[in-house]
Amino acid sequence: MRRGIGGLVAALVLATAAPLPAAAVPAADTVPLPLERLYDNAAVSDDSRPGGADFDGAGASLSAQDLAAAGWTPGRTLTVQGARLTWPRRAPGEADNVRSAGQWVRLSGHGDALAFLVAGTAGDATGGTGTVRYTDGTSAPYALTAPSWRTGPPATKAVALPHVNTPGGRLARQARLYVVTVPLTPGRAVAAVRLPVAPGLHVFAMSVRSHAPGWTGSWAAPTGGCPAVGPWTDRTLRLVVHTSAGGPRVRLRFDNTFAGAPVRIGAATVALRAPGAAGAVPAAAPVALSFDGAAGVMIPAGAQAVSDPLDFAVPAGADLLVSFHLPGPVTAAPVHRLGQQRSYLSEPGDHTADASPAAYTATLTSRPLLTGVDVGGGPGAVVTLGDSITDGDRSTPDTNRRWPDALAARLRRQSAVPRYGVLNQGISGNRVLTDRYPGDGVSAEQSGVSALHRLDRDVFAQTGVRTLVVFEGVNDLLDGVTAAPLIDGLRTIADRAHARGLRVLGATILPCGGHARCPASVDTERTAVNAWIRSTGAFDGVLDFDAVIRDPAHPARMPAAYDSGDHLHPGDAGLAALGESVDLRLL
């Protein structure tokens, strides 16, 4: 992992905090204990006794009532970024977290990452270097940084709470908790973890995130924001999704990312869409899904729910109908705005099992809540991280003509390389460096947080991911960003992905000459970024999409045959050319 080493070393150096006095550091041979036996700080107070806990050393604490309203109740297991973490089973005022000071924690399991539920109280991000001990006797360092519970970035939080309790009463100031993951050595089982020596770093929960052996991601849609919806009460959504890879089993992922309140799914089903059908018509009776054995699930704010494995044959390149009932009321929800696919909303009632489309009288063009479809078996997945061009803006709706669709179709037609799943993580309007959606609250803005801020959720936590394609940056350039900071951002993405053991391909940025916001100065910066992509050692391979799309006679523009008409987005023919141009051996 040559290219990832520099970034990892830099992270270790930057994250290391000043050491505690020697007396505060446990001996290296300390017997590891379960995390809950090491709790030494109380972070949560009841609103009736707002001074009953002291999280930050100044008497401030989290509100038990706010946590309950978000669905973060004592003992609840939450899934965030694919990791299962249990909120401490403690009453308000009881010790519920560990102040990180070099303690050895007993932890076991195989997986791709350690997950920590953390927050910092040192006034800014705080962190340091810890150690993972494996069952084979080896050990390795890791870097852990916890953002501030009061001023940390909203774009990467797990949950935000509206109040802070103090001895003087409740203050209307936001508090935030974070889930941070760090990579593990592949193929080794964890035996114990030593926490960093980092004053102000609080750890509530830890786990080993499973790398989901036996599953391949087949379809995905990232969350771009949390807009007002409906409101929906006692309605059923039937979303149409197009698979890439197929398999004999299926499971679905629903995300309540960015939300401030829980959402309840009363029931959910999956079905194949009838061949040739244009609407919500299943080929056979929909099959019920379950969640930890129950028909429905309540998804806490900021968390996700994954359905139980279901024996259900999913063909490659097929349309699935995913139906889920929302008892409601649901007034805002995490959404992927640009579906480029009609989906359906029912009249009141639970219509998840309906074999008839009659109850589905309204259409949707967005994708609320549903973010992933996994299939059993398979060789793993390729993630395409991008903006509106990857999202399929200006492609023909209901025809699956995005360039990742063309790539997936090519993979299904050949046998020279494995038939990987292709996960489209494009968000229209997305940028590499800056957030469009602020990362918190109900907002009409649905262009997502930055690629850097969504990398953990939309790439590293995806099922079976082995290769990342980075095809993003034009929106940064259109907003006035110059080549140098954009190159730094792309290099950071590559370094972070390499540190996770992923193969990374960089795609050059397409020409946009003729677009109102793309003068010659933007093309100069674009050309500089592309020159770096082609020549850098930061990527394992290059997809020269610019060379595929540009007009040979006018390299700053697309030819008419590939242009959708706005001089920024390729049309169907241009998107097909991108998908057809990928050297499959690079994947």
Q: Nearest CA to 290 among 272, 312, 268, 271?
A: 268
Q: What is the mean predicted confidence (pLDDT) over 519-545?
A: 98
More confident residue, 8 or 457: 457
Query: Once rounded to an integer, what is the mean pLDDT over residues 225-249?
Result: 98
Task: Please say if the pLDDT value at position 7 is more than 70.
Answer: no
Collapse the DSSP code of 104 into the 3-class scheme (helix H, G, I; strand E, B; otherwise coil) and give the result. strand
**pLDDT top residue among 341 and 15:** 341
Banded pLDDT at 17 (limits 50, 70, 90): very low
Give me the amino acid identity at 443. Answer: S
Distance CA(109)–CA(209), nearest Å, equals: 8
Question: What does the pLDDT look like over 152-203, one tens digit per residue?
Answer: 999 999 999 999 999 999 999 999 999 999 999 999 999 999 999 999 999 9
CA 73 to chain centre: 23
- Distances, alpha carbon 150 to alpha carbons 64, 72, 147, in Å: 17, 18, 9
User: What is the SS3 assignment for 118?
Assistant: strand
Average pLDDT of the residues in 526-530: 98
- pTM for this entry: 0.94
* Residue 13 pLDDT level (bands cut at 50, 70, 90): very low
Per-residue pLDDT at 8: 34
Beta carbons within 10 angstroms of residue 373's beta carbon:
27
C-beta separation of 342 from 238 below 8 A: no
Give the strand pairing for 83-86 and 77-80: antiparallel
Q: How many residues does the chain have?
A: 587
DSSP state at residue 214: T
Are the C-beta atoms of 333 and 424 separated by less than 8 Å?
A: no
From 16-20, 137-141, 359-363, 380-384, the region with the lowest mean pLDDT: 16-20
Both structure tokens of 459: 């790439």
Give the span between the Cα atoms of 371 and 457, in whole angstroms: 11
pLDDT band at 277 (very low <50, low <70, confident <90, very high): confident
Domain-by-domain residue ranges, the chain?
Answer: 2-209, 220-375, 379-587
Assigned superfamily of 379-587: SGNH hydrolase (3.40.50.1110)
How confident is the prediction for the chain on average, in pLDDT?
A: 94
The phi, psi pair for 405, rounded to 5°, reads -65, -40
Per the CB < 8 A criterion, the answer to whether 190 and 209 are in contact is no
- Give the residue-averaged pLDDT of 553-563: 98
Residues 79-105: tens digit of each pLDDT: 999 999 999 999 999 999 999 999 999
Q: What angle in degrees, to the nearest 10, is found between the helix axes of 403-413 and 572-581? A: 50
What pLDDT digit, counting tens, does each position of 472-493 carry? 999 999 999 999 999 999 999 9
Q: For 110-150, write each residue's pLDDT tens digit.
A: 999 999 999 999 999 999 999 999 999 999 999 999 999 99
Residue 3's pLDDT is what? Answer: 38
- Sign of dihedral through CA atoms 96, 102, 107, 113? positive
